[in-house]
Amino acid sequence: GEDVEQSLFLSVREGDSSVINCTYTDSSSTYLYWYKQEPGAGLQLLTYIFSNMDMKQDQRLTVLLNKKDKHLSLRIADTQSGDSAIYFCAGRGGSQGNLIFGKGTKLSVKP
């Protein structure tokens, strides 16, 4: 089955770019997702990318997908204090597959 790995912590300064990385094992993963979780809250869907795409940009967010290496990244431009949260990478094998999550990367933004 799918296994999703993420680094656990990332610290950046306000205004810098953040890059959160994720690797997955299932090459048949059709959709790959990034979710954001703030303390005490549920998961907020930030963006997702189809496996036939290499890049997707949405305002300050850029998702890069390297299918060969099974590597997904989320870049947040001009990181703000409100971006402090845990970011989860998730993969899904086809529309009937289940979402499989990584353990999350805690992003800390310093002034």
Is residue 45 at the binding interface for other proteins, with CB under 8 A as the rule? yes
Give the separation between CA 106 and CA 84, rounded to whole angstroms: 8
Q: Among the candidate windows 12-20, 44-52, 62-70, 72-80, which touches other proteins by CB under 8 A?
A: 44-52
Give the separation between CA 14 and CA 10, rounded to whole angstroms: 13
Q: Restricting to residues 68-97, which ones interact with other proteins according to CB under 8 A? A: 88, 90, 95-96
# chain residues binding other proteins, by CB under 8 A: 22
Reference 105, options 79, 73, 80, 82; nearest CA is 73
Give the separation between CA 102 and CA 7, rounded to whole angstroms: 9
Instruction: Report CA 23 to chain centroid distance, whole Å.
Output: 10
Is residue 12 at the binding interface for other proteins, with CB under 8 A as the rule? no
Smallest gap from residue 16 Cβ to other proteins (A): 26
Query: Rule CB under 8 A: which residues touch other proteins?
Result: 4, 31, 33, 35, 40-45, 48, 88, 90, 95-96, 98-104
